[in-house]
């Protein structure tokens, strides 16, 4: 036998369905009106436009880094780019404000040919990492990678303490390792007025075809850099 329900019960069961149906109708009508208004408005939104585009991904580059990755975990520095005249002047101003001497190729070459270099009263310091130092450095230059001062200070500190002029260089251009190395030496007790930063660095040295020593310091393996 089919159960029967009071009239009030049937009405109460229909009310939620009626309410839901009415809500859906209102939503659909509102959406239709909104789409119509958007299409008629000159400032309406374009429905096929991407309003949140992703940032473009730069293309991969094969340019070797200036500071390299000879050791696992070592910081990577992008390849040095030549400094503009205004950029070079800004670097000079910053270095001289620290009390260091800023030198260019002519003075670096004079110091390299200075007889005092044989007595280590004039010393060159290469502020690059192992890989770049081994690939070629100013003949007789000591390595001082300021990222690993403990590996180099025991050797370079006694030399720097007796030297009258210490020429610090790195890759040149926008490379700042030579400046950071000079700061580290100053903080270790070397007077700032003995420190000269060669702004052009190894890139400038190579460009002008000056001699280069490969391998460790004092290896005797020399090559002439092609200009």
pLDDT in tens, 78-91: 345 555 666 778 88
Check residue 54 and give its pLDDT.
44
Beta bridge partners of 167: 124, 196
Between helix 177-187 and helix 149-162 the angle, nearest 10°, is: 70
Angle at 61 between CA 56 and CA 62, to 5 degrees: 170
Q: In whole angstroms, what is the distance from residue 188 CA to residue 84 CA?
A: 32
What element of type H or E holds 92?
helix 85-97
pTM of this prediction exceeds 0.85: no
pLDDT of residue 89: 86
Spatial CB neighbours of 119, under 8 Å, sequence gap ≥ 6? none
Residues 6+ positions from 161 with CB-CB distance below 8 Å? 189, 190
Q: Which residue has the higher pLDDT, 94 or 64?
A: 94
Could you say which of 3.40.250.10, 1.10.579.10, 3.90.180.10, 3.20.20.70 is the CATH number of the domain covering 85-224? 3.40.250.10
Do 133 and 146 form a contact (C-beta atoms < 8 A)?
Answer: no
pLDDT at 171 over 90: yes
C-alpha–C-alpha distance, residues 110 and 203, integer Å: 17
Which ranges constitute the DSSP H helices of 64-176? 85-97, 105-113, 130-135, 149-162
Does 186 have pLDDT greater than 60? yes
Q: Is the pLDDT of residue 53 over 50?
A: no
pLDDT classification of 57: cutoffs 50, 70, 90:
very low
- Could you tell me where the DSSP H helices lie in 114-148? 130-135
The total of other beta-carbon atoms located within 10 Å of residue 50's CB is 7
How high is the pLDDT of residue 11?
54
Instruction: Report the percent of the chain where pLDDT is more than 70.
Output: 62
pLDDT greater than 80 at residue 32: no
The closest of 152, 156, 141, 129 to 210, measured between CA atoms, is 141
DSSP assignment letter at 137: B
**What size, in residues, is the chain?**
227
């Amino acid at each position: 036998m089919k159960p029967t329900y009071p009239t009030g019960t049937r009405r109460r069961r229909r009310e939620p369905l009626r309410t839901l149906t009415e809500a859906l109708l209102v939503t659909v009508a509102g959406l239709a009106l909104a789409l119509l208004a958007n299409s008629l408005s000159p400032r309406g939104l374009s429905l096929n436009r991407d309003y949140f585009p992703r940032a473009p991904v730069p293309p991969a580059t094969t340019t070797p880094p200036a500071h390299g990755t000879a050791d696992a975990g070592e910081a990577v520095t992008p390849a040095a780019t030549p400094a503009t005249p205004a950029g070079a002047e800004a670097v000079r101003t910053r270095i001289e404000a620290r009390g260091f001497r800023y030198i260019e190729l002519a003075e670096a070459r004079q110091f390299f040919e200075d007889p005092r270099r044989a007595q280590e009263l004039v010393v060159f310091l290469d502020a690059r990492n192992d890989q770049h130092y081994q690939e070629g450095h100013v003949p007789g230059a000591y390595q001082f990678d300021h990222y690993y001062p403990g590996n180099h200070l025991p050797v370079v500190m006694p030399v720097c303490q007796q030297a009258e002029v210490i020429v610090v260089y790195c890759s040149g251009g926008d490379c700042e390792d030579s400046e950071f190395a000079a700061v580290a030496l100053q903080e270790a007790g070397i007077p700032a007025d003995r420190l000269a930063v060669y702004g052009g660095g190894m890139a400038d040295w190579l460009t002008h075809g000056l001699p280069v020593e490969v391998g460790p310091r004092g290896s005797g393996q020399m090559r002439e850099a092609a200009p």
